[in-house]
Amino acid sequence: MFSIEKTIVPLPIPLVPGTSSSASQEIYSGGSVQLWSDYLKVPLHPKSVYVVRQYMHDGVCGCLEAFGQGESLLQDPGCIEELEDRLHFYVEECDYLQGFQVLCDLHNGFSGVGAKVTELICDEYSGKGILTWGLTPVMSDMADYQKNVYRLMNTALGIVHLSSHSSLFCPMSLSGSLGIRPQPPITFPYINYDASLNYHSSAILAAALDTLTAPYRLCSSQGSMTHLAETLNFSGRKVVAAWASVPFPALQGYSLPDTLCTYQQDVPWKLLSSCREKKVSCCFAQSVVLRGICKEHSISSCPGKQPTSPLHACENTEQALQHYLHTVFPGAFSTSHVLEQPCSTLPPYPQFFSPLLTRQGFLLDKPPSYSSAGVESIPVLAALQSSPVLHTLLYSLYKDLRKLNTRRWASFFAAGVEQDNFQDALEELRTLSQCYEVGFEADESEDEADLD
């Protein structure tokens, strides 16, 4: 897995902590910790880390802040040769190479680095899967107008270039919007996290990512990266949205059908792709993973009686989840996977959970009278969707950038991106957004195009 972000350190996935037994009960609150990887105790091979020395990590100046700066880094023959050498080192160790995962910042110059890396991988390993995850921070510095505009331009260029060279591209963030106007961060009913702490937000995203990628990482799985991409990216829809329920709201002692029946009108997950959520049950295709639900939760809690719903008539968790998806998303192509293994939340995972959760992450009717030692694991429901909500995400970003007078931002284009190329990228962003139009959205965008 390539992780192209400020830290240049792979995200610790799966979430298996490297702590001693004496620290297993410690409650982590975050404090001065900024990133998940600050707690990373997994030894990294020297060839797995490539340090960009030309730019500072988080200084006032000398930051990698523009897409063109990132692109120019990988135009250096020495840098490309070094990257190719590291790639070949790991590829030669593979018995069966499915493809590559690329984690990349979207909002800064690393979007340009990611664009060049995915282009390099696409050219070097054609036919292999490339799944790219574009990450943005929860909180943005809205007071600094230049940084905000740079964020928008980097994000737009990143989406266009990364999606064109990837099998599948997914923007991920707990931010409520990628656009010029700030939106409140995503909230979760049973997590009390601090949106200003990357330690907290990255832990939630890591739990979702660990769940979403399980179908092609498990030895027992029949699918692959390429298979997952092909089920979701037809008709030019190479961008997908991520959804997750962290934790999945399963009541202790109740069956899975009991839980799903309470969410017939409104699915329990939250959108993790920086877009104002629409209460519309509609998607073109989806891959759904439910983990941490044991077999005893799959059937009715009252065996021998007449099933109270079609869900209760299902024989196992797989059937119950598949039936639920077909009911809530009629006409959509849905694949589902059910894993008994829950998501581990032992230290260093932050303990920001509701007191209503048991140590195994199941819901209680009321907080326990005793003091809990912390939540050790949680069930998680996560989905990748090719959905009309992406039209809102992509087209809103396009509209925000169309309103800008790009001539005012000569410093951004001095870094290497031509203004004509930027305008071409904007049109590609608009075309990409049109792949997700349905009904009134198509009419609305056509009316706005006439006004342009």
pLDDT of residue 91: 92
Contacts of 43 (CB under 8 A, 6+ apart): none
Query: Could you give the CA distance from residue 170 to residue 313 in angstroms, rounded to a whole number?
Result: 35
Reduced to 3 states (helix: H, G, I; strand: E, B; else coil), residue 388 is coil
CA 211 to the chain's CA centroid: 10
Please tell me what DSSP assigns to residue 357.
B
Nearest one of 347, 285, 273, 299 to 17, comparing CA atoms = 347
Amino acid letter, 426:
L
Query: What are the structural domains, with CATH classification, of the chain?
Result: 2-224 (3.40.50.1440), 241-387 (no CATH)
Query: Could you give the CA distance from residue 85 to residue 171 in angstroms, rounded to a whole number?
Result: 28
pLDDT of residue 18: 34
Query: Could you give the CA distance from residue 78 to residue 201 in angstroms, rounded to a whole number?
Result: 35
Contacts of 104 (CB under 8 A, 6+ apart): 3, 4, 5, 110, 111, 113, 114, 117, 132, 133, 134, 135, 158, 162
Secondary element (H or E) of residue 334: strand 333-339
**What would the DSSP string read from start to end of 147-199?**
HHHHHHHHHHHHHHHHHHHSSEEEEEBS-S-SSSS--PPP-BTTB---TT-HH
pLDDT of residue 9: 31
Nearest one of 31, 30, 40, 42 to 7, comparing CA atoms = 40
pLDDT of residue 194: 92
Query: Could you give the CA distance from residue 188 to residue 136 in angstroms, rounded to a whole number?
Result: 18
Both tokens assigned to 107: 């909002």
Query: Could you give the CA distance from residue 392 to residue 389 in angstroms, rounded to a whole number?
Result: 5
Please tell me what DSSP assigns to residue 315.
S
| Dihedral (CA of 425, 168, 203, 325) sign | positive
Both tokens assigned to 253: 């002692």
Query: Could you give the CA distance from residue 362 to residue 384 in angstroms, rounded to a whole number?
Result: 24
Burial group, residue 322, by CB count within 10 angstroms (0-12, 13-18, 19+): middle
Query: Could you give the CA distance from residue 93 to residue 365 in angstroms, rounded to a whole number?
Result: 50
Reduced to 3 states (helix: H, G, I; strand: E, B; else coil), residue 129 is strand
Q: What is the 3-state secondary structure (H, E, C) of 284-305?
A: CEEEEEEECCCHHHCCCCCCCC
Both tokens assigned to 252: 């202790």
Query: Could you give the CA distance from residue 379 to residue 235 in angstroms, rounded to a whole number?
Result: 33
| Residue 252 vs residues 259, 357, 378: alpha-carbon distances, Å | 10, 9, 12
User: For the chain (length 452 residues), average pLDDT per consecutive 10?
Assistant: 40 32 46 63 80 68 84 88 91 90 93 94 92 91 83 96 96 91 90 90 94 88 87 90 96 89 86 75 91 67 69 89 93 92 90 93 85 86 95 94 89 91 96 87 52 50
- Sheet of strand 270-271: strand arrangement: 270-271, 241-245, 380-386, 285-291, 333-339
Query: Could you give the CA distance from residue 335 to residue 406 in angstroms, rounded to a whole number?
Result: 43
* Pairing relationship of beta strands 380-386 and 285-291 according to DSSP bridges: antiparallel
- Could you identify the residue written with the tokens 């909230």? 187
Count other C-beta atoms under 10 Å from residue 330's C-beta. Answer: 9
Rounded-to-10 torsion of CA 270, 301, 291, 384: -40
Reduced to 3 states (helix: H, G, I; strand: E, B; else coil), residue 72 is helix
